[in-house]
Amino acid sequence: MLLGSIEAGGTKFVCAVGNEDYRILQKIRFPTTDPQTTLKKTITFFQQFKDLEALSIASFGPVELKKNNSHFGYITDTPKTKWRQTDFLGPVKRALKIPMYFTTDVNAAAYGEYVTSQLYNEKIDSLVYYTIGTGVGGGAVFNGKILQGIGHPEMGHTFVKRHPDDTHFVGICPYHHDCLEGLVAGPTFEARLGISGPQVPLENHVWDIMAYYVAQAAIQQTMILRPANIVFGGGVMNENFLIKIRKQFKLLLNDYVHVPRLDEYLRMPRIQDNGSATLGNLALAYWVNQA
């Protein structure tokens, strides 16, 4: 069975074809430019697979997920101005004419990490996934189901207490300025320091400031959802940064509630190279094909 995955990020699209065993057979990456050009490349890639049976789209957001809404399948009020109010699902579905699942990039990543945990017999029933990269987003899976209500979660746009050494930084979110995304997304390095994240040594205090904010986000999820794991992916994340986040989390939590060992509870993705959303998409495409 051939299944398709579209991971639509703010910087790049990753399109892949795999099978029901979640083995990827072919994958391409290309930059996220304007909607017309990017969707045309996407459709062209999948049209070469005549036996493709189903596909899942995981998009940067916000997106419309209510099926009874006339804008179901649209990217809505995104900070990426060229993509605002873009019909994403419609053109792809009309071109390929196969069953499709539509969700957010972080929902698919969360689902991919959940499926992987089941494959490894880790016996967890819930997790939250944060991606920290060009933007910040989060998704959650509980008992095998993606968590959402009237819309999908926007965990990157919650507010956090400002670090005392960071009170003059305005933040980069065009909607909220100093929400979580506005304080820890990749472009904040350049906004604060004038250099990109990969050039900033881990000894720089900005990493401690950002760890303070990310740890608060993990505290929020711990107190509200009590998940079995909180997973951190995305281009900004690395193991050394995660160590700083765990340290801040421990200080902030102050042993108020029980959590697993922090090296198990707050972790990097099991799937390497930020591939969680692709695996999650293959699983969701399989599910929608069986529905």
Q: What digits encode the pLDDT tens for the residues 143-191?
A: 999 998 888 999 999 999 999 999 999 999 998 999 999 999 999 999 9
For 95-123, how does the pLDDT look when each residue is reduced to its tens digit (9 = 90+)?
A: 999 999 999 999 999 999 999 998 888 88
Q: In terms of domains, do 98 and 134 share one?
A: no
pLDDT at 5: 98
For residue 142, the cross-strand partners are 126, 145
Per-residue pLDDT for 63 more than 80?
yes
- Shared domain for 260 and 148, answered yes or no, is yes
Per the structure, the complete domain to which residue 25 belongs is given by: 2-105
Check residue 27 and give its pLDDT: 96
Report yes or no on 97 lying in a domain: yes
pLDDT in the model for residue 79: 80
Question: What is the edge-to-edge ordering of all strands in the sheet holding 145-146?
Answer: 145-146, 136-142, 126-132, 229-233, 266-267
Same domain, 155 and 86: no
Classify the C-alpha dihedral 286-104-49-87 as positive or negative.
positive
Same domain, 139 and 256: yes
**CATH, residue 9:** 3.30.420.40
The residue written with tokens 């990426």 in the block is 80
What is the distance between the alpha carbons of residues 213 and 219, in angstroms, rounded to a whole number?
A: 10
Does 64 fall in a domain? yes
Last residue of a domain, one of 105, 136, 167: 105
What are all long-range contacts of 192-196, with beta carbons under 8 Å and residues at least 24 apart? none
150 with 86, same domain: the answer is no
**192 shares its domain with 253:** yes
Residue-wise pLDDT for 230-273, tens only, equals 999 999 999 999 999 999 999 999 999 999 999 999 999 999 88
Task: Please state which of the ranges 66-70, 79-83, 111-115, 218-222 shows the lowest mean pLDDT.
Answer: 79-83
pLDDT above 80 (res 25): yes
Whether residue 9 is found in the same domain as residue 67: yes
Query: Average pLDDT of the chain?
Result: 95
- Residue 85, pLDDT > 80, answer yes
pTM: 0.93
